[in-house]
Amino acid sequence: MKTAVRKEIEDLEKKNAALREQVQSLEHENQRLQKHLRLLLHQHYGRRSEKRAADQLELFLDEAVAEAREAVAVQFGPAGDAAAPKRRSRRNGRKPLPKHLRRERIELDVPAEDKTCAGCGEARVPIGEARTEQLEVIPAIFLVKEFVRPKYACRTPGCTGGVAMADLPPQPIEKGRPGPGLLAHVAVSKYADHLPLYRQSRIFARSGVEINRTTLCDWTDAVGELLRPIVQAMRRRLLGGHYLQADETPIRVQRVKPHGTHRAYLWGYGPPWGEVVYDFSLDRSRANPKRFLEGFQGVLQVDAYGGFNAVCRSQDVVRVGCFAHVRRKFVEAERDAPKDTRMALALIQQLYRIEQDLKEIGAEPSARARTRRKQAKPLLQALKTMLDRWGKTALPKSPFGEAVAYARNQWPDLVRYVDLGQVEIDNNSIEHTMRPVALGRKNYLFAGSPAGGEKAAVLYSLVTSCIRLGIDPCEYLKDVIDRVSTHPMRRVDELTPRGWKQAQTRGGHDTPGE
């Protein structure tokens, strides 16, 4: 009897221990989910900027540097010490209206009786004038171009010479009615201003011009196909360079069977703040960047996505990481470990301050590398020491632990920028090219087909490159659409945004026959 009771007690104790272990596991899982929920709520409703006030992070900088000095025996000289945050003045006030705008002079003169002085009766004379500017807008104006071609025939009886008539100039769309300016307007409205085609159709209807969405879609596809050789020329030029950044973002693509949409991707490639080329793919496979970058040799700056590993292994490509992604991870972990996170952010802020100072003085690549080795390298050594220490204590699945692990795993790629003066500290330039796509997909939701996704990549490449190079994309597309069908293919580089801008700077374009 006693043995049976003792056995039952032991069984109950085992069950109790198992239940306590299960409760503890559930509590840890609950805490992890709550942290992720707070992060998601902050991302959706909270402050989006990753910037932190300089004075807030400066409080943690001295402590971070002091700890790292002891651990790695880093001797900071005056150039390596943290510089005091610079205060940049902000100019307020209204900007003057652009000089190139058409101006209409409206003269408001005083009545005739006021032109005589009330004090002495003499005539008043003009002594100047006051000018007040008012900005006005004229809504879009549609016009119809009529190409009139007189016909000529011989009156001689029995003559078979036929009728003479001038040829039509090359049309952007064969047997189509849209002119280059209208096609450019539709493309820029969609791919720069994110206006879906059905909204553009409604806007046109308010001016009395009925163009249905399907017609606009056909026009956009035709323009994308017409301009594809230009983007191919841009790709060849990018691959011939020695430094590229790359990133990708998802889009939805409509499928026929089964009905619905599926996830596809647009990949962006380009040097910092220069031309960018988008590439469309139906998946996120590593085969896509490998295919696009075939033949490229140089520096490739990307995030931690493993799909780029195959490119760096099989080609003569040096991979460089992105400190913006590291900073973002620590910003997201700030609620999880406030003190340690802010110490890391303080050091990262100092790295960015060095880069800002180099940009302000327009330092050459060699000078940038020297300054980074002298000022940034000690800060990186300090950050690495802290990461190694946190890696032993931080919970792996916590936001802070994930931020620490991300930085440690990417560390060789992250610090490579120090010795490469032409390379940026982060991948932000190419990330900015993903924003137009993100804004666009919120409005037009999905591409109509894989072919439509490829045409979108062509037009995004041209429109976004124009914006990055300071070119009016509507003016560029209007001119290029008008000329591309007669332009020699051996000189297609002249029609790329960069080539077009250079021609404008020189004072115009050469005719195709020259």
Q: Where are the domains of the chain?
A: 235-321+430-458, 329-421
The b/e string for 348-367 (b: 16+ C-beta within 10 A; e otherwise) is bbbbbbbbeebeeeebeeee
The reported pLDDT for the residue numbered 88 is 53
Q: Phi first, then psi: give them for residue 303, nearest 5 degrees.
A: -85, -160
Q: From CA 441, how far away is CA 182, in angstroms rounded?
A: 23
Among residues 277, 264, 270, 344, which one has the least CA distance to residue 302? 270
Among residues 260, 257, 258, 277, which one has the least CA distance to residue 269? 277
Q: From CA 296, how far away is CA 242, in angstroms rounded?
A: 8
Is the domain 235-321+430-458 a CATH 1.10.1060 member?
A: no
The mean pLDDT of the chain is 84
24-33, 103-112, 317-326, 453-462, range with the lowest pLDDT: 24-33
Residue 214: pLDDT above 80?
Answer: yes
Question: With bands split at pLDDT 50, 70 and 90, how would you rate the model's confidence at 184?
Answer: very high
- Read off the pLDDT of residues 221-262 as tens digits, 9 standing for 90 and up: 999 999 999 999 999 999 999 999 999 999 888 876 677 788
Residue 122: pLDDT above 60?
Answer: yes
16-25, 186-195, 214-223, 312-321, range with the lowest pLDDT: 16-25
Among residues 329, 334, 336, 371, which one has the least CA distance to residue 350? 371
Q: Which residues contact 508 (CB under 8 A, 6 or more apart)?
A: none
Residue 278 contacts residue 471 (beta carbons within 8 Å): no
Q: From CA 383, how far away is CA 400, in angstroms rounded?
A: 15
- Find where tokens 């909204």 sit: 199
Residue 492: pLDDT above 90?
Answer: yes
The reported pLDDT for the residue numbered 329 is 92
Residue 359: pLDDT above 90?
Answer: yes
Residue 493 contacts residue 233 (beta carbons within 8 Å): yes
Residues 351/356/358/359 CA torsion (nearest 10 deg)? 140
Q: Which residues contact 295 (CB under 8 A, 6 or more apart)?
A: 239, 315
- Read off the pLDDT of residues 6-32 as tens digits, 9 standing for 90 and up: 777 777 788 888 888 888 777 767 766
Can you name the residues that pair with 278 across neighbouring β-strands?
268
CA angle 338, 341, 346 (to 5 degrees): 120
- Read off the pLDDT of residues 432-479 as tens digits, 9 standing for 90 and up: 999 988 888 888 767 778 888 999 999 999 999 999 999 999 999 999
Among residues 340, 357, 250, 239, which one has the least CA distance to residue 298? 239
Q: What is the pTM of this model?
A: 0.79
The reported pLDDT for the residue numbered 212 is 93
Residue 360: pLDDT above 70?
Answer: yes
- Read off the pLDDT of residues 194-204 as tens digits, 9 standing for 90 and up: 999 999 999 99
- Read off the pLDDT of residues 28-80 as tens digits, 9 standing for 90 and up: 677 667 666 666 655 555 555 555 555 545 555 555 555 555 544 444 444 44
Among residues 324, 322, 419, which one has the least CA distance to residue 369? 419
What type of residue is 348? I
The answer to whether the peptide bond before residue 258 is cis (omega within 30 degrees of 0) is yes
